Amino acid sequence: MGTPFSKLLELAGGLKEGRTLKAVIPGGSSTPLLSADTAMNMTMDYDSIANAGSMLGAGSVIIMDDTTCMVKTLTRLAHFYYDESCGQCTPCREGTGWLYRVLQRILDGNGKNEDLDLLVSVGEKISGNTICALGDAAATPVESFIRHFRHEFEYYIKHGRSIVESEHHLIEEEAIV
């Protein structure tokens, strides 16, 4: 508690050589994602993380480097919450299904730009309207991923593949030439 995030990252072994920090989820998958710059300038305590725009939550820090596809990562998180919903309350049962299916549609190359606003809207309809906290936990990452990395989702929708994969492919082509 109170350790600068940059020091925590260093103590944990840092990033693989040649990689750069892209984003951090400081309190587990149900807390808002933070950009690398924001995370590197915060300390790991309740107030600093709240001021940065997230929560300490369970304290299980998730680190993402420049090779992380944010669309695939969010889809995986959405699938987890969809699978974990007990189905008792409609906003969670239906909402988590919508979140997962729309994200999967994007991954399958059938996404539309309107899907991003739809995802945010569905998340808003889930938040605060469920019996337990699982619905809020499912909705929270959706908004923060799209807010911070909307361009990656738009790229995936337009090109049917990850911007990360495209950048990697370009680097490989340059190396061949």
Mean pLDDT score across all residues of the chain: 93
Q: 103-138 pLDDT, tens per residue?
A: 999 999 999 999 999 999 999 999 999 999 999 999
Q: Are residues 83 and 123 in the same domain?
A: yes
CATH number at residue 151: 1.20.1440.230
Q: Taking residues 78-92, report their average pLDDT.
A: 96
Q: Are residues 161 and 93 in the same domain?
A: yes
Residue among 75, 31, 69, 68 nearest 52 (CA): 31
Q: Are residues 13 and 78 in the same domain?
A: no
Q: Is the pLDDT of residue 176 over 70?
A: no
The pTM is what? Answer: 0.91
Is residue 173 in a domain?
Answer: no
Q: Are residues 115 and 60 in the same domain?
A: no
Is residue 175 in a domain?
Answer: no
The pLDDT value recorded for residue 37 is 97
Q: Are residues 41 and 105 in the same domain?
A: no
Q: Is the pLDDT of residue 62 over 50?
A: yes
Is residue 171 in a domain?
Answer: no
Q: Are residues 75 and 161 in the same domain?
A: yes
Q: Are residues 21 and 101 in the same domain?
A: no
Q: Are residues 83 and 35 in the same domain?
A: no
Identify any residues that bridge with 109 across adjacent strands, giving them in sequence order: none
Of 14, 36, 65, which residue is a domain's last?
Answer: 65
Compute, in degrees rounded to 10, the torsion defined by CA atoms 124, 125, 131, 133.
Answer: -20
Q: 10-22 pLDDT, tens per residue?
A: 999 999 999 999 9
Compute, in degrees rounded to 10, the torsion defined by CA atoms 118, 130, 104, 68.
Answer: 100
Q: Kindly state the tokens that stand for 167.
A: 């950048």
Domain that holds residue 107: 70-165
The pLDDT value recorded for residue 177 is 47
Count of structural domains within the chain: 2
How far apart, in whole angstroms, are the C-alpha atoms of residue 142 and residue 121? 10
Q: 132-144 pLDDT, tens per residue?
A: 999 999 999 999 9
Q: Is the pLDDT of residue 50 over 60?
A: yes
Rounded to 5 degrees, what are φ and ψ at 31? -110, 155
Q: Are residues 106 and 153 in the same domain?
A: yes
Q: Are residues 159 and 78 in the same domain?
A: yes
Q: Kindly state the tokens that stand for 91.
A: 């906003």
Of 65, 85, 104, which residue is a domain's last?
Answer: 65
Q: Are residues 150 and 88 in the same domain?
A: yes
Of 42, 65, 88, which residue is a domain's last?
Answer: 65
CATH number at residue 32: 3.10.20.600
Q: How far is CA 148 from the centre of its chain?
A: 9
The pLDDT value recorded for residue 147 is 96
